[in-house]
Amino acid sequence: MRRDCGNCIYARMCRQQSCPAAQPTPWHETAEEIEAGLAWGDRKAFLMQWLRRRMSWVLSRRQQVVVDLHLFQGMTFNQISRVTGVDRSSVCRAMKRSVVRLRRLWRVEQARISRQTAAKSKRGAKRDKKRRRERGGKSRRPA
């Protein structure tokens, strides 16, 4: 992808190899790569929002602080230990236990969602079968 550098007097000069703007940009992405990046951004935003909401459900106050400082503020365990006055190993342990609890909650919620989806599809199949019978479609009962 070529671009005009804005420094050249004529746009055709940018087509010369000597002009840095004439070089293809190394940041070029295909449409699929852009779409994948946007989809990942949406997914990440959903996960972060879910995490923010569920932290208070299953985590202790200390664990909430550690997760917030580490994931949302970008602090290292050493920095967190200095800020909170807790040993680094305790910070690491709190983070590890938080991740275990949140993963467990995630699995429970995903299982519940898949059960609901399966139940809806089963109800939909029964409803469709009932509608076919009402319309005079094939029935398993002998006439």
Q: What tens digit of pLDDT does each residue of 37-88 get?
A: 899 999 999 988 999 999 989 999 999 999 999 999 999 999 999 999 999 9
Contact 70, 77 (CB under 8 A): yes
Q: What number does CATH give the domain 44-117?
A: 1.10.10.10
Question: What is the pTM (predicted TM-score) of this model?
Answer: 0.58
84 φ, ψ (degrees, to nearest 5): -90, -15
Q: What is the dihedral of CA 43, 49, 50, 56, to 10 degrees?
A: 160
At residue 135 the predicted structure's pLDDT band, cuts being 50, 70 and 90, is: confident
Q: If you search the block for the tokens 């519940």, which residue do you land on?
A: 112
- The burial class, CB within 10 Å (0-12 / 13-18 / 19+), for 57 is exposed
Centre a 10 Å sphere on the Cβ of residue 128 and count the other Cβ atoms it contains: 11
Q: If you search the block for the tokens 């909430």, which residue do you land on?
A: 64
Give the pLDDT of residue 74: 94
At residue 129 the predicted structure's pLDDT band, cuts being 50, 70 and 90, is: confident
Residue 40, both tokens? 């990942």
Contact 4, 21 (CB under 8 A): yes
Q: Does the structure show a pLDDT above 90 at 13?
A: no
Q: Does the structure show a pLDDT above 70 at 27?
A: no
Q: Does the structure show a pLDDT above 70 at 16?
A: no
**More reliable by pLDDT, 113 or 86:** 86
Give the pLDDT of residue 1: 45
- pLDDT tens for each residue of 1-10: 445 555 555 4
Q: How far is the C-alpha of 77 from the C-alpha of 97, rounded, in Å? A: 14
Residue 48, both tokens? 């972060």
